[in-house]
C-alpha cells in the first residue's frame, strides 16, 4: 500500500513536470504542433495530448491556426494565451504613479498615469494604500480579476534595505525603512517584488533593444518633489539586473541638481552634462559596459537628445584612454512607462521560474 502511494505521488510529479515543460516550450517557441512538441521534449504523443488538453482547459493554451500541409490533414498549431494570467508593474515616482498590466507575453494591456494626492504623499502608509486601491481600480476597469494576477513589481527612487525601502530627501522624511513589499502583498494577495526604479527601467530598455548586451549601463534623469533633477543608475549583465550585495548596485553618489541651479543655467543640457559627468564616469570605469543608455525623457525630445550628445562628447574627450572603442552611448528607446513596464516584466520572469506553480493556480 505504501509503495502505491509513493508511486501515485511520483506519477503526479511527473505529470506536473511535463505540463511545465510543455508550457515553457510553447512560451519560448509558439506556435507549435503536437508532433513538434514531442520532438523537442522527447515526450510521447499521448503524454502531449493529455497535457495540451489540461492546459487548454485551464486557459493557458489555445489553438492558433494550422501548420503547413504535408499532403494530409494539416496539424493544429498551439500557442500560449497571453491573457491567461497577468503581472502588474508600478512606478512610484512620487508624486507621480504609473501602473502597467502585462500579459504572459510581456506586452502591456493597461497603462495608466496618475498622481498620489498631495495630502497623503508624505505618509508612506496612506500612500501605499492609495497605490493598492489604484491597482485594484486599474484591473477592474478592464475586467481582470485580481486572482488572475501572478505578481507585481514596484519600482521606486529608493534604497533597498531587506524588504523595506528608504527614499532619501528632505521632502519625504517619513519614507524610511518602509515595508512596501509587505504592505502591498497583504493588500493585494500576490507576490510583490520591490526594486530601485532605474533597475526596472533598464529591464524594459533591454527588451526594447531586442537583444541583451554583455554589460549595459543605464542612466535615467528623474524629477524630484522640489523640481530638482536626479540621476539614477543601473547595470544589466546578459539582460539581468546586477543587484549587488543589498540590491543597490549602480546607485550614484550626489547625482542631482537643485531646481534653482536649473533655473540659472544658460544651456540646460550642457549644464546638466557638466554636473553629472563625474558620477557617470565612475559608473563606466567600475563596470566597463559595452553600452551606455540614457533616458532623458523628462527634458523633452530635443533637449534630451542634446544632453545625450553632450555626455557622449565629454566621455569621448575625457574617457578615451580607458574606455573601449566599441563602447557606445545611446538614447533610450523605451521612455514612456518604462519603470512600470520593467516591473511587470520582472514579476513575470519570477513567476515563470516555477511554471508548475503558475499553471497549478485555479
Residue 270: cis peptide before it, omega within 30 degrees of 0: no
Q: What is the pTM of this model?
A: 0.88
Partner residues linked to 19 by β-bridges: none
First to last CA, the chain: 31
Tens digit of pLDDT at every position of the chain (362 positions)? 333 444 566 677 888 889 889 998 998 888 999 999 999 999 999 999 999 999 999 899 999 999 887 777 899 999 999 999 999 999 999 999 999 999 999 999 999 999 999 999 999 999 999 999 999 999 999 999 988 999 999 999 999 988 899 988 778 889 999 999 999 999 999 999 999 999 999 999 999 988 788 999 999 999 888 888 999 999 999 999 999 988 889 888 889 899 899 889 889 999 999 999 999 999 999 999 999 999 999 999 999 999 999 999 999 888 667 776 678 899 999 889 999 999 999 999 999 888 878 887 76
Output the pLDDT for position 6: 41
Residues 314, 319, 323: CA angle, nearest 5 degrees? 130
Per DSSP, helices labelled H in 58-192 are 124-141, 180-188
Nearest CA to 305 among 314, 318, 295, 315?
295
Instruction: Catalogue all structural domains in the chain, each as residue range(s) with its CATH number.
Output: 2-80 (1.10.10.10), 86-196+339-360 (3.30.420.40), 199-338 (3.30.420.40)
Residues near 81 by beta carbon (within 8 Å), at least 6 away in sequence = 59, 60, 61, 62, 104
pLDDT of residue 5: 40
Residue 123 confidence (pLDDT): 96
Amino acid at each position: 500500500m505504501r509503495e502505491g502511494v509513493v508511486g501515485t505521488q511520483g506519477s503526479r510529479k511527473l505529470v506536473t513536470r511535463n505540463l511545465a515543460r510543455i508550457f515553457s516550450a510553447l512560451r519560448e517557441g509558439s506556435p507549435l504542433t503536437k508532433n513538434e512538441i514531442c520532438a523537442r521534449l522527447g515526450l510521447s504523443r499521448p503524454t502531449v495530448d493529455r497535457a495540451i488538453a489540461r492546459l487548454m482547459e485551464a486557459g493557458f493554451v489555445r489553438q492558433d491556426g494550422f501548420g503547413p500541409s504535408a499532403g494530409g490533414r494539416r496539424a493544429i498549431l498551439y500557442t500560449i494565451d497571453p491573457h491567461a494570467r497577468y503581472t502588474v508593474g508600478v512606478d512610484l515616482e512620487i508624486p507621480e504613479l504609473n501602473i502597467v498590466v502585462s500579459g504572459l507575453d510581456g506586452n502591456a494591456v493597461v497603462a495608466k498615469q496618475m498622481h498620489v494626492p498631495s495630502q497623503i504623499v508624505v505618509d508612506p502608509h496612506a500612500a501605499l494604500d492609495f497605490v493598492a486601491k489604484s491597482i485594484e481600480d486599474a484591473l477592474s476597469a478592464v475586467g481582470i480579476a485580481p486572482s488572475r494576477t501572478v505578481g507585481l513589481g514596484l519600482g521606486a527612487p529608493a534604497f533597498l534595505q531587506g524588504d523595506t525601502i528608504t527614499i532619501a530627501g528632505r521632502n519625504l522624511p517619513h519614507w524610511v525603512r518602509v515595508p512596501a513589499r509587505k504592505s502591498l502583498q497583504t493588500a493585494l494577495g500576490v507576490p510583490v517584488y520591490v526594486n530601485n526604479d532605474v533597475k526596472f527601467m533598464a529591464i524594459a530598455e533591454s527588451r526594447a533593444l531586442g537583444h541583451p548586451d554583455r554589460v549595459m549601463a543605464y542612466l535615467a534623469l528623474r524629477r524630484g518633489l522640489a523640481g530638482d533633477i536626479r540621476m539614477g543608475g543601473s547595470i544589466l549583465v546578459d539582460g539581468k539586473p546586477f543587484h549587488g550585495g543589498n540590491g543597490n548596485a549602480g546607485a550614484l553618489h550626489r547625482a542631482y541638481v537643485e531646481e534653482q541651479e536649473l533655473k540659472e543655467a544658460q544651456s540646460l543640457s550642457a549644464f546638466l552634462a557638466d554636473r553629472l559627468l563625474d558620477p557617470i564616469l565612475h559608473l563606466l570605469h567600475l563596470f566597463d559596459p559595452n553600452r551606455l543608455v540614457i533616458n532623458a525623457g523628462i527634458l523633452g525630445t530635443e533637449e534630451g537628445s542634446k544632453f545625450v550628445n553632450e555626455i557622449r562628447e565629454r566621455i569621448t574627450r575625457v574617457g578615451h584612454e580607458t574606455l573601449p572603442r566599441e563602447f557606445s552611448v545611446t538614447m533610450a528607446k523605451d521612455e514612456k512607462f518604462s519603470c512600470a513596464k520593467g516591473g511587470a516584466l520582472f514579476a513575470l520572469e519570477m513567476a515563470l521560474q516555477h511554471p508548475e506553480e503558475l499553471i497549478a493556480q485555479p
